Amino acid sequence: MVASSYVDGVAPPATPAPVHSNHGRPMNTTDPAFASPRTLAVAILLALLATAAPAQEASAKREQGPAKPAAESDAAPAEEPKEAGAKKGEPKEPERVYKTDEEWRRLLTYDQYLVTRMKATEPAFSGRYATGHFKGTFLCVCCGAKLFDSRTKFESGTGWPSFWRPVAEKALDRALDRSEGEPRIEVTCARCGAHLGHVFDDGPAPTGLRYCINSLAIKLDTEPARPAASRRPATNRRRSPATRDARPQAPESTAPPEEKPAGA
């Protein structure tokens, strides 16, 4: 017979069962060692993010370069002029100029047309800018594009204006010229295609180049523009009878009448 564990017929108070984790151990919610797997995963992810954030910031700083002062970074960057000497309010200059042959004939003189459009060469020492020093910027005689600064002009003794550098490399186009026995490098206006001359490698420092240009192909911006000859249309003016009749009469001759020769 099994001995009864009850004393005086009264059952002992029940002892509460301890709360166990999945591994059979008591759960202690304050001990990180007994945290749930989801909590551990979140903690590991936060640790990884905290470690990766400084690395990403350092990489971004290396790509952006040194930090600029606040006054400089906040201010909007100033726009650089598209062309040297550009001013506010001036109309934008065209990138290319196209005209028909008939339009060039009307715009240019006969000699200018032969040089710039037919690629002729003016005689040596015949040009206006062959010798001497000038102030200003030399422009294309056809379209007005800026080509050479007068400070880059030098005396080459060849009989044509010579420059050692254009105002900008994009102001000129270059092409191989085989029209004569020796190949040469032709230079033309990049805007309108006008023939200017040739470039040689016997120029002074610092470029060592000599741009041999026809005087008829260029003009100075400091020179006053020549006004075009205006042709006034013929008008049909009617004169009043008083004005038409009031004409000065020839004075009467006081010389004696000539005698006719005898036998005439």
What DSSP letter does each residue of the chain carry, written as one string? -PPP--BTTBPPPPPPPPPB-TTSSB--TT-GGG--HHHHHHHHHHHHHHHHHHHHHHHHHHHH-SPPPHHHHHSPPPPPPSSTT--TTPPPPPS-----HHHHHHHS-HHHHHHHTT---PPTT-STTSSS---SEEEETTT--EEEEGGGEE--SSSS-EES--S-GGGEEEEEE-SSSS-EEEEEETTT--EEEEEES---TTTT-EEEE-GGGEEETTSPPPPPPP-PPP--PPPPHHHHH--PPPPPP-SPPPPPPTT-
For the question of residue 212 being annotated catalytic, the response is yes
- Pick the catalytic residue from 140, 142, 192, 212: 212
Q: Looking at the annotation, which residues are catalytic?
A: 212
